[in-house]
Structure formats: structure tokens, C-alpha cells
Amino acid sequence: MILFYTLPETNRKINSEGASRVVVLAGSFNGYLNFGDLLQLRGALRWHKQHWPGAVLCPLLHLRTVSDEKTLRELIEFFDTPHWLLYAHHSEEDANSRAKALGLEPLRVSDSLTPAILHVYGGGFFNGFWGRWMLDLIEAVLHTFPIGRYVISGQQVGAEFAPVLAEHCRRYRPDLVGCRDPLSVEILTHSGIEAFFSGDDAFEELLRYAETPATANVTSLLNPAFGLHLNLSGYVYSSPTQGDQAQISDRVISQQIECLLQLLVTRFGPSSIPIIVGSYLDPRHEVQDTWAAVKRTLLTRYLPQFIGLDIAGLLLQGRLEEAIPLLRSLKLFVATSYHTALFLKILGVPTYLLAFNHYYIQKQSGIQETTRSFEELLTIDPETLRKEQETVLLAHQKARQEWKELLERELSETPEKWGVILRGIAYLKEDEKRKSAKIKEQEQVIARLESENVAFRDQLESLQRQNSVMAEKLEEQKQIIARLESENVFLREQEVSKLRQDNAALSAKLEIIERSRSWKLVRKYWTMMDQPFWRLILSPIRKIALIAYRALNR
């Protein structure tokens, strides 16, 4: 189960009488600062604001990505929308306390809420890596809100996940489905789902920056030869198919990157100074973007000098325009980020998107006219590459225009109650299955607990019997102790009585001795011996007496 939280003002806004159109936006941005994800959400928000200025726009945001109120305020300012729906899985034990610390409260949705719009904007998450998790989130929204219109745009769909997504579409019936690459359209069409080529949801945002006027002599001192972005996170080279053993090892990846660096050094010279671009401001260890990849690949062994540029950081600071002239001056750009590569192509730089797995090969297909290796690309005239890129970009631009017109027509119609009912019925059917499975699971738990209870009861009865036996033995021991204590008292009294009698007898004998004449003489003798005069006289007499006594007893 997924829990939703929001600010008190958002709760009041969406539940007030005569509330404006409510749009829930779910997509690739969940709080982690990825260059492309930031722009996709901002592009979707900008489109809705332009067409329905009074709409209440509520993007989804993972609660655990927001560390404090300052972070939330920065997101509100960057995206220019005060209304957010923060979500957490029920297994996240600290969700309530985290939400409270941010000034949030549980989301409230009144029964009278006007049917809302759900817009699942772009990204490459409908695949074996993240697809099931994302659908769970989307279906939680469909369960929480009365959704009158449901649209999907800018998606890359993996062939391995298409059956799951198609089943979801048949159940919840999105009104429009748009894909950012023709291959995704083909995959969904083969799965029985009508889909359109919508292009990428960040396209207009990237075009906006590309319109920055050129600045003369801005790169004269730097003169960088080429640019490079590296992302070595697991999803870049692993297979999204569970159980697939055809995974590329870390060693193979390192070798391929080393080969790439050697080719670049050979082409541009060992003293060339490239621009190294970072695109993800993400603290997670599993996200190995450029700055982590620099260390992991020993890049500085080949390129000891470079210009570092973080386009995600510049974007968040509102300074991305400052980097445009420098990026435009590049003769070549190599990337492992779809949106970074797309951005450089829009800037007119010959750009190659690296691909180590099917996920990235599909990304390549959306923004490259011809599939070729990097070695082959180096042999082609840069002007030819630019013209190829322009052809692809014009196709995207045309697709975007057609898609936006289609989207506007669809969302301009009044949301149908029938759509809400159909999606509600579909969810309830699925919810019934989930609850049945949950009940079955609980019944199994109850059966196990009852079995354990019987075993515990048997153990308890056994322990009670043992306790009864031990109690009897304890009683016997108490009786023995009482008898021994009684005997001990008797013996002690006997011994004390005997000692008293002996003491009385000795006292009587001592009294007789003290009254005898001999004792008086002895006492008189010792009294005299204490005096020096008598000791001098009596000592010789005593010695003579002892000698005589010994002589008589021989």
C-alpha cells in the first residue's frame, strides 16, 4: 500500500467547493536531481500552465528524497508549483514522522471532488528495472483519485515489459499513450495498444536553452576539443530481464571505456583538454554518474586535465545558459545519458550516445538515424553528422507539435463520469484479487499460528506436569529442610547445655584453687618476684630447689 501526504493548503485547495481542475503528474522525477528528469517534469508543468493557468498541478515526489523543509521550498521554487503529493510505501516505518517534520498531513480526497486528470509524463521507466514499481504507484493514484482523464506521454517501453503495461492499459484505459521513440510505438502496437510518437517531454525545455544567443570569444581561452559524460550505474550495462545471465561484467565495461578514451586521445591528442559533464546530483551509491565514473575508470590516466561542468547543478541554480557557448564550441560529444546527448544534439554538436545493453540501444534508436559504432562515427565528416541530427530533431519537433495538439484536444473535453466508473471498476476488480490473495495469505498465517498454538499448548501442558512433579519434590525438600533445622536446634541446645555444665564445673574448681593455701603462697611468691630485692634473694633458692628436684627424680 502507498501512502500520500501533502501540505495543508493543497488539501484545502483540491477539496474546496468549485475547485479548479486537478492534474496529478507521475513520471521520472521522484526527488533525485537528474538533469533529464528535472526537465521532463518542468516541461509537463509548463504545458499545463500555458493551457489551463488556474489548474491545481500536483506532481508526485518520493517522501524519502526530501530531507527538510528547505529542500521542499527549493523544489516549489524551481518548478513554480506549490502543490505536491509526497508518497511513501507503508513499509517505510518513519513515513508519518518524516511527513510531520515537513509540515505535511495525510492526503484527503472528498467524495465530491471533480474528476481529476492523471498525466504520466516521460521517462524510460516502463521496463524490467522499474516498470512494476512505477505501475504500482500509478495504480495507487487511480485508486485514490476519481480520474476522469488519463494520459501517458514521452515513454520508452521495453519489449520485456510491454505485456505488463498492455494489461494495465486494457484494465485502466488511458485516453492517450505517447512514446518518445518509434520502437516503443511499435512494441505497444504489437501488444494491442494504440500508441503515438509523442517525442520527449523535455524537448521544448531543451530547445528553450538552445535559443540562448551565441557569445563571441567566450571560449577563446579554453578551446576545449570534445566533451564526455559517463554514467556507469548498473542499469546502463545490465539486462532489465530477470534471470538473464548475459550481463556485462565490470571488467568488460572498464575495458570498453578504456578503449573509448584511447580513441579520443588518438583523435584529439594527449594534451587535449575536454569538458567532462555531470548530469546527476544523486547521493545514492548505486548511481555512478560522471564524478564517480572518473575515479572508477581511471579517466585521468588518459585525460589528466579537463574542464568540469555539472549541468544539473547549473540548471537548479538557473545558470544553464552560461554553459551553452562553451558546449556549442565542442567538436564532438560522447554521453551515456539520453537527455544529455539529446541536449548536445539540439545545440548542434556531433554527439554519440554510448549503448552497452538493449535499454540504451533503444535510447540510441530514438535520437540517431543510423546505428553505427563509435569507431565508425569518428570516420564521418562532422557536417554530415550535424545534418543527420537535424533530420532526427526535425522529426521529433514535428511529432511534438502533433502530439501537443492531440493532447490539448483530448484534455479540453469535459472529463466523463463514465471514464471514472470504468477505471474504478477495473481497480476494484484488481483490488478484490489483491485482497483475496491477502486473505489467503492471512489464512495461511492463521493456520500456521493455530498449529504453533497447539504445539505451544502441548508444551505448556508438559511444562505444567513437570512443574507439578517439581512442586512435589520441592515440598519433600522443604520437609527435609524443616526436619534438619529441628534436629539442628535440638543438637545446638544439647551442645550449649553441656558447655554450660562444663563451664560451671571449671568455675567451681577454679574457686577451690583460689581459696587453697598453695595458691595463696604461689600468688605471694609471684608478687615478691615482681620486686628486684626479693627476686635477687629468691632466684638462687629457686634454682637450687630445681636442681635438687631433678637429682631426686633421676
The three-state secondary structure class of 2 is strand
Cβ-based neighbour number of residue 170 at 10 Å: 12
Q: Which helix (H) or strand (E) holds 311?
A: helix 311-316
- Supply the pLDDT for residue 246: 44
- Supply the pLDDT for residue 87: 97
Contact (Cβ atoms closer than 8 angstroms) between residue 105 and residue 5? yes
Cβ-based neighbour number of residue 132 at 10 Å: 13
Q: Give the per-residue SS3 of 430-471.
A: HHHHHHHHHHHHHHHHHHHHHHHHHHHHHHHHHHHHHHHHHH
* Mean pLDDT for back-to-back runs of 10 residues, the chain (554 residues): 94 84 96 96 98 95 94 96 94 88 94 89 92 95 92 96 96 95 96 96 96 61 84 79 54 84 92 93 80 85 92 96 94 95 96 90 88 91 94 95 96 71 70 76 90 91 91 91 90 89 88 83 82 83 83 78
Query: Could you give the angle at which helices 182-190 and 162-172 cross, rounded to 10 degrees?
Result: 70
Written as one letter, the residue type at 312 is A
Residue 301 CA, chain-centre distance (Å), reads 34
What CATH topology corresponds to 213-379?
Rossmann fold (3.40.50)
pLDDT, tens digit, for every residue of 395-405?
Answer: 999 999 999 99
Q: Give the residue extent of every domain in the chain.
A: 2-205+400-415, 213-379, 440-515, 516-552
Please, what is the Cα angle at 344 between 342 and 345, to 5 degrees? Answer: 65
CA distances from 153 to 123, 168, 206, 220, 380 (A): 9, 15, 17, 41, 34
Same fold, 2-205+400-415 and 213-379: yes
Contact (Cβ atoms closer than 8 angstroms) between residue 45 and residue 78? no
Structural domain 2-205+400-415, CATH architecture? 3-Layer(aba) Sandwich (3.40)
Q: With 0-12 CB in 10 A as exposed, 13-18 as middle and 19+ as buried, what is 497?
A: exposed
- Supply the pLDDT for residue 6: 97
CA distances from 61 to 6, 77, 137 (A): 10, 15, 11
- Supply the pLDDT for residue 427: 62
Name the one residue in this structure whose C-alpha cell is 620486686.
Answer: 531
The three-state secondary structure class of 414 is coil
pLDDT, tens digit, for every residue of 265-301?
Answer: 999 998 899 999 999 988 887 777 888 888 888 889 9
- Supply the pLDDT for residue 421: 75
- Supply the pLDDT for residue 434: 64
